[in-house]
Amino acid sequence: MLYTIRQMERYGQNAVNRKKEFILISIALYVCYVAYGLAYNIWGPTWVDLVELMGSDQVNMAYGNSLMALGYTIGAFC
């Protein structure tokens, strides 16, 4: 089957658009997983330990929990 130049240009442009979409989705997934990983593995345990060491009140604990929840929420969008 022979394609016209217009059809070939359209096919090439669609391939470029699909590649851009793939790259954007990949970056978004990476950001979500990094946010979740930071909240779960680093920020959560560190925050709990700091609050215990400093003898802080419940308000400071609530701030840390809110930040952890924000990280989990961002990660959950993946």
CA–CA separation, 47 vs 62, rounded Å?
10
> Does the structure show a pLDDT above 70 at 5?
no
Find all residues with CB under 8 Å of 40, minimum gap 6, and list them: 68, 71, 72, 75
* Distance (Å, whole) CA 74 – CA 70: 6
pTM of the model: 0.53
Range of the domain at 48: 5-76
**pLDDT surpassing 70 at residue 78:** no
Domains in the chain, number: 1
Whole-number pLDDT of residue 52? 74
d(CA 44, CA 28): 22
Give residue 55's region: left, alpha or beta (phi > 0; psi -120 to 50).
left
For the segment 18-77, what is each residue's pLDDT rounded down to a tens digit? 888 888 888 888 887 887 777 777 777 777 777 777 777 777 777 777 777 777 777 777
